[in-house]
Amino acid sequence: MTTSPKIGIILSTIRPARFADKWTQWLVNLVGQRGDAEFEVVDLRDYPMPFDEAQSIMFAPLQDEVALRWSRKVAELDGYIFITGEYDYGMPAVVKNALDCAYPGDRKPATFVGYGGCGAARAVEQLRLILSELQLATLRHTIHINRIELVGMLMHGKTFADYSYLEGSIAAMLNDLVWWACVLKAGRQPRNLSSIHPMWPPQ
């Protein structure tokens, strides 16, 4: 029996005054209305991984217990939404370190909710580049929360209801993500691979 895919909503910043919590709660409220996938918030604050692992996991197994917990968590997920700000034209250092510590697992989809002066466009593009090396499929539909929405909500008392177009964009993003998560989850099952490629498993 096919089970619903599990999607991780990854908070990619740990700053005490981060804005990510606002966008995460908004997203959690929206995904709660869906019944085609399971969604779970994965907060990097709960995974304070070291920046000084002795070697890349390409060459040696993880040693740090927190990194091992992170590895187990991302491995059980079928897709990812990275919620990220943009710091000095780049992604937060903690999410890069998290990806270096433990790869999320290949052949899974990922998309993004970026916020900042340019909607975190540069941070998102950097994440796309890194995730493609890890064999994740990054998707076209992405949410960019720009300065106009940030200033309105953080300084002028506006809410997401004042920017209704964002909800429509979220719906398209989630539809795309769940479709890819289902397809790639099925494709990762060994019993299906022989029908995709006649030489599977490799001789």
Please state the pTM of the whole predicted model. 0.88
pLDDT of amino acid 198: 52
Is there a domain that residue 1 lies in?
A: no
b/e map 2-15, b = 16+ CB within 10 Å? eebbebbbbbbbbe
Question: How large is the average pLDDT for residues 119-138?
Answer: 95
Is there a domain that residue 201 lies in?
A: no
Is there a domain that residue 161 lies in?
A: yes
72-98 pLDDT tens trace = 999 999 999 999 999 999 999 999 999
Higher pLDDT, 153 or 195: 153
Cα separation of 78 and 187, whole Å?
11
Q: Is the pLDDT of residue 131 over 90?
A: yes
1-19 pLDDT tens trace = 458 999 999 999 999 989 8
Is there a domain that residue 184 lies in?
A: yes
Q: Is the pLDDT of residue 169 over 60?
A: yes
CA distances from 18 to 31, 116, 139, 154, 181 (A): 21, 11, 25, 12, 28
Is there a domain that residue 155 lies in?
A: yes
Is there a domain that residue 203 lies in?
A: no
Is there a domain that residue 202 lies in?
A: no
pLDDT of amino acid 203: 46
pLDDT of amino acid 160: 84
Is there a domain that residue 171 lies in?
A: yes
Higher pLDDT, 183 or 154: 183
CA distances from 133 to 126, 130, 160 (A): 11, 5, 34
Cα separation of 75 and 132, whole Å?
17
The pair of three-digit structure tokens given for residue 18, joined into one six-digit string:
């981060």
**What total of structural domains would you count in the chain?**
1
**Which residue range(s) make up the domain with 58?**
6-196
pLDDT band with cut points at 50, 70 and 90 for residue 137:
very high
In CATH, what number is assigned to the domain containing residue 28? 3.40.50.360
